[in-house]
Structure formats: C-alpha cells, structure tokens
Chain A
C-alpha cells in the first residue's frame, strides 16, 4: 500500500488506518449493543413446549368452534371428528379474529378478511389460512401446545388430529 515515501502519502496511509480502526470499533460496539438488547429477550425461536389442556373430547361436539381464551385460539371440531387448533391472529395484519356463529365463519373486524371453520381464506386481503397450533390427544383429553405455532398456506386433511379409535 505504501508505495511512495512522501510524507503526505504516509500521513494519508496512517489516517486511513485510523479511520478503518474507527469503523471496526464502531461495528464492534454496534454488535455488542444489539446483542445486549436482544439476548435477554423471550424469543420465538427458542422453543419450549407450553401445554394447555383444552378439555375432554366429549366437550367439543361435532361441527363446533370453541374459543380457548387463555391461549388466544379456537378449537375446531369438524363433522368427521377431526380437531384443529386455530390461532386468533389474522394473517393479514394481526388483528384478533372473532368467530361469527350464525354465519359459521371467522370475520376479521380490521379489513374484512373471512375464514371458514378450518381457517381457510374465503375472502382476501388475508394472504394465507389462519395459523395452527400443535395438538395431541391423550386419554381422551385434547392438549394444545400454545408455543408451537404452525404456519400454513391452506387447509389440508393431514392437519386434522383424530382421537384414537374407541376400543
């Protein structure tokens, strides 16, 4: 880099080193500050299950949608007995979506997106179906993991969870 011996070029070289060091120091400081601000936070990607007992299978009649208030979600039971735990959060801009029983659909108050019982989009602007939560059924009790949010573009039959065959 230092090809000439004139003092001005040496000075320029040194001052460039200072500037470079300054930038490195600034980057280090910024990285440290970002880590300081973010490391202590509850994070979405640090996954620990948080299980919520929704209730016994018998509490949810076929073809019903029940609000599970604590987890901000709905438990849908389809006519064939399959369960879906559907998030309340609209996929458009995050409003809480109420279930309108008389029309059997979710209607978002913010931008009038409409979803059917399975969370599928009936009317835009919502870009994709409502998120799901993971469900397990143990001893005829529906258990929802409210920390395990499953994003999906549309409803498919594989998402349904069925109770074990009654013996």
Chain B
C-alpha cells in the first residue's frame, strides 16, 4: 500500500512541477519583451501606477537575470505564498483574492460533487434493476450529461429567477442584507446558493447515473454473481455485492471528473456573478489581469492534486485488490 501511495505522490509531484513550469514559461513564450507587451496591452493611465506595475513585472519576471534564475525565483516566491499582485484590483495581492473567493467556490463544488455522486449512483443502481425506470432515467441522464453547464445555469436563471421570481438572479447574497452570522443573512446566502448549486448538481447526476447503471449491469453479469445465483443466493445478496463492486470505479471516477466539474463551476459562477474563483478568473481574463490568472491556475492545480490524492487513499482503503496487489499477492 505504501508503495502505491508513494508512487501516486510521485506522479503528483511531477505534475505539480510540470504545471508550475508551464505556468512560468507561458509569458516567456510570447514574442518580444513580455513585460512591455503586457504593459502595452494594459494601458494604465496613471503613470505612478504604471511604474509600479512595471516594477512588479520586472521583479516577477526577473528579466535581467539568466533564465534558470528566473525560474528559480518563481519557485521561491511560490513557496512564500507570493503569487503576485492583481492589476485590476491593485494593490490587492493575488493570494488575498483567492482566499476570499475560495469559500464560495467550495461551497458550490463540494456539496454538488458529493450529492450528485450519491444521488446519481443511487438512481443508476435503481435503473439497473427496473426496466421502467431504466427507459426513462437513461435518456434523461444522457441529455443531462450532454448539457453544457453554463446553459443549464442560464436556463435556471431565466425560468426560476427572472420569469418566476422564485430565486435571486445572481450574487452570493443581497447587497442589502447585513453581513455577519445572523439567521437572516444565512438564509439569504442559502437562497442565493440554490440555483447555482442545482445547475452543477443536475448535470453531475446525469453522468453518475449512467456510469453506475452500466457498472451494475456489468457486475450482475460477472462470474461471481452467476455463481452465487447458482448456489441459490437471493437477489438481495447478489445485488448487494454488485453494488459494492460497482462503486469502486465510481470512486476513482470522482478524481477523473474533477477537472470537468471545476470548469463547470467556473462558468456557473460567471452566469450567477457568484463571487468565487470562476468569477475572479472571468474578470481577470476580461481585464488581462495575468497574475490573477496564473495564481488561480496554480491554486486549482494544487487543489486538484490534493483531491486526487485523497481519492487515492480512500480507494486503497476500500478496494482490497489494490492493497494486496501492492504487497505482491499470489496471482
């Protein structure tokens, strides 16, 4: 087990290095002096601010230093938690922007991932049993999983917020609601949270339901299922085993789907002007706030790697084959 986890850690470390390198090298791939090019695009009016930004850039890029030193300094500042300063929201440091945006993004991601996984799997398992449910659930699942996240968000906003007025159109909380931990505020936050959450949840459900349904059918056709049935085991027992075994690839699937769900969360936030990482990235892109883009990118990478590692640990605990296989069990 240790070897397996260490191996995974190795891959993640490698990935992290690769990602950071890519992140660092992209500005350098642009022709000409990257700083001047960037400055030219931004066109800051205030000369004092312009000078500040220029100095910041020069410092960050260390263009006077040899390439490898620039690379090295990039890593150094990374480990100091210094991700640069935002241009648009000058002088707010990027790390501060990220820290303030995280709770909102996580507040959308975590519940929607977990709940859509749970509900989707349950529905998929049920669909594998009953033909009637299968005929309705499956097409719905395929349609949902083919729906672009932002379009579902748009649909939900238009129908439930704009037309029916049941939910707010956007933002995380009403500007008029007093902040602080009062019940009113919390209810307000929850009210604003429902539609974006629903958007992520529904698309996710579709995918998980389909996957689970197929996995269960696959498991029910397996040798051990047939053997149990030929020994007179009741359907209940066979289904229980099939369900448990079908869950395993669904767990590792969680890690795989992370990238797509994050992308979905980003665009959903944009539709709802929900002040999470997605919204910040959108603003950064529109305003060419490169440090913010780079910073959020790195943050997402780290988050995904950590999440992957957690899933790997869970998987090893749950599936005896990985545990034992790693100890060199007999084949």
User: A and B: partners?
Assistant: no
Residues of B within 8 A of A (CB): none
Residues of A at the B interface (CB closer than 8 Å) are none
